[in-house]
């Protein structure tokens, strides 16, 4: 599991980005990959999978 911070999340459109801890990497997150509801600045843990357009964060949980 990786950890990070929700940098942006638009609940209306159902997607956003997670900034990975100790990295400049940002990973796309779709609402279907959430375990808990999230908002900007929430600390989360997550797994990374290869999606159709790149890396996706899944099993995203608040920590």
Quick one: pLDDT at residue 2? 97
Quick one: pLDDT at residue 3? 98
Quick one: pLDDT at residue 32? 96
Q: What is the pTM of this model?
A: 0.92
Contact 23, 17 (CB under 8 A): no
Domain tally for the chain? 1
CATH number assigned to the domain comprising residue 26: 2.40.50.140
What's the pLDDT tens digit per position in 13-30? 999 999 999 999 999 999
Quick one: pLDDT at residue 61? 98
SS in 3 state form for the chain?
CEEEEEEEEECCCCEEEEEECCCCCEEEEEHHHECCCCCCCCEEEEEEEEECCEEEEEEEEEC
**Which residue range(s) make up the domain with 19?**
2-62
Cα 6 to Cα 12, 34, distances in angstroms = 16, 12
Q: How confident is the model at residue 8 (pLDDT cuts 50, 70, 90)?
A: very high
């Amino acid at each position: 599991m990786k950890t990070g911070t929700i940098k942006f999340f638009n609940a209306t459109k159902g997607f956003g980005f997670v900034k990975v801890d100790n990295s400049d990497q940002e990973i796309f997150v779709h609402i279907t990959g959430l375990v808990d509801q999230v908002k900007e600045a929430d600390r989360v843990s997550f797994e990374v999978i290869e999606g159709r357009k790149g890396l996706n964060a899944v099993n995203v949980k608040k920590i």
